Amino acid sequence: MRKHFRKYLPDHEAIRRNRWLARFDTTLLHPRLWHLNRHSAAGGVAVGLFCGLIPGPFQMPGAAICAVVFRINLPLALATTLYTNPFTIVPLYFVAYELGRRVLGGEGEFIAPPEWGATGLWDWLLRLGEWMAHLGKPLALGLILLATLLAAFGYLVVRMAWRAWLLRAWRQRRLRRAAPDRVV
């Protein structure tokens, strides 16, 4: 598994030669940012899942900062943020809103955003602002809770999958070594 991913990861010298990244070589060339093992892979997936719910274009910078701070696999953290896209972000935010609303004990239902009307852009923007303020606390709490749940789930799944792969590899190696008609 490691060999498969290693061919897609850049080497240290390629990063050192890049003129945009050269000034960050002491930070970005830390070995743990590029090493692929069960700890860094699980951490990278967890950070990517957590930062994937950050609004706007701040997902990848947030994942990169977290990867550098926590010293986990940087490419995996960046790639994992891509689970949010224009098709998945609305359902994920709706789930986050519902989660936050239930935790806060809200009784109301989800209110649809205001439609564009004949009253003009300014009136629609004011109604959109009121709608967003109504979503505020439940959505903010729900995003934090959902991001934490996804990160914990992703971390555990990667750790268990890595462990299962290791057990399978060890078992196959033991069977190969125990084979009586082994050709040398």
- Residue 82's contacts (CB-CB under 8 Å, 6 or more residues apart) are 52
Q: Which two tokens stand for residue 132?
A: 């967003």
pLDDT recorded at residue 11: 67
Better pLDDT: 118 or 46: 46
- For the chain, the domains span 2-178
pTM: 0.75
pLDDT at residue 28 greater than cutoff 70: yes
Given a contact cutoff of 8 angstroms between Cβ atoms, the answer to whether 100 and 174 are in contact is no
| Euclidean distance between CA atoms 155 and 29, whole angstroms | 24
Query: What would the pLDDT profile of 47-75 be if each residue is shown by its tens digit?
Result: 999 999 988 789 999 999 999 999 999 99
Query: What would the pLDDT profile of 151-181 be if each residue is shown by its tens digit?
Result: 999 999 999 999 999 999 999 999 988 887 6
Residue 43 CB neighbour total at 10 angstroms? 25
pLDDT at residue 9 greater than cutoff 80: no
Nearest alpha-carbon partner for 53 in 148, 158, 128, 153: 148
- Residue 60's contacts (CB-CB under 8 Å, 6 or more residues apart) are 51, 78, 81
> Percentage of the chain with pLDDT > 90?
43
